[in-house]
Amino acid sequence: MSRSEIAAKPFPLSVDLARAALVIIDMQRDFLEPGGFGAALGNDVSLLMAAVEPCRRMLAGARAAGLLVIHTREGHRPDLSDAPRAKVERGAPEKRIGAPGPMGRILIRGEAGHDIVPALAPLPEEPVIDKPGKGAFYQTDLDLMLRNRGIETLLVCGVTTEVCVHTTVREANDRGYRCLVLADACASYFPEFHEVGLRMIAAQGGIFGWVSTTDTVLAALA
């Protein structure tokens, strides 16, 4: 694979595709599906579901091009030993992490709602990073995996734009990775946060990274 110049904001990014990885953030049933935890909180999950097809196309393109694909999931151990009290003790007690939810205990590993949506199911050889925080680098072996493979650029998509995507991109940027965020393959329950979140990434000459689209990146991978 070769180097490719990918159109992006705030300026085109030159990507060595052999040193690029696709990172799909938290496309979990509880956040996305009607009948899940996100919906139970009163969110319009169709806003998040809109990112599934762009993510699916990006995933297919990355697999076809032989890119490393990494999936992440936000969640905790069943005994909550990895969940800070400050995180657990937030919101109404019946809607807290570990409480019984519509698809099993909320944000607990192994529960149905914690799983990735079927359309984006990881292949056995694709690493899945189970993360206790919003950022995919915090208390995980993601950085080690990326460095072992010589990865320099992350193509980032998933949900939600302003929370786990943003936190991960900020963490990655500080660790020296170039992050190219796929605007249409990210989503938020709050459209205005999605828009502003993307603008924040590309502002000030790309202060955290670059923003492009699924079609643009797929054309570069083809």
Question: Which chain residues interact with ligand C5J by CB under 6 A?
Answer: 26, 74, 159-160, 163-164
Catalytically annotated residue among 164, 179, 184, 186: 164
User: To the nearest whole angstrom, how small is the minimum distance from the Cβ of residue 3 to ligand C5J?
Assistant: 32
First to last CA, the chain: 10
Catalytically annotated residue among 9, 26, 179, 186: 26
Sign of CA dihedral 143, 146, 149, 151: negative
User: To the nearest whole angstrom, how small is the minimum distance from the Cβ of residue 207 to ligand C5J?
Assistant: 20
What would you measure as the largest C-alpha separation in the chain, in angstroms?
A: 52
* 45 close to 39: Cβ distance less than 8 angstroms: yes
CB nearer ligand C5J, residue 121 or residue 219? 121
Round to whole Å and give the CA distance between 128 and 201.
25
User: To the nearest whole angstrom, how small is the minimum distance from the Cβ of residue 162 to ligand C5J?
Assistant: 8
Round to whole Å and give the CA distance between 106 and 36.
9
> Is 157 assigned a catalytic role?
no
> Is 131 assigned a catalytic role?
yes
CB nearer ligand C5J, residue 74 or residue 171? 74
> How would DSSP label each residue in 50-112?
TTHHHHHHHHHHHHHHT-EEEEEEE-B-TT-TTS-HHHHT-S-GGGSTTSEEBTEETTBTTSG
User: To the nearest whole angstrom, how small is the minimum distance from the Cβ of residue 2 to ligand C5J?
Assistant: 33
* 55 close to 24: Cβ distance less than 8 angstroms: yes
> Catalytic site residues?
26, 131, 164
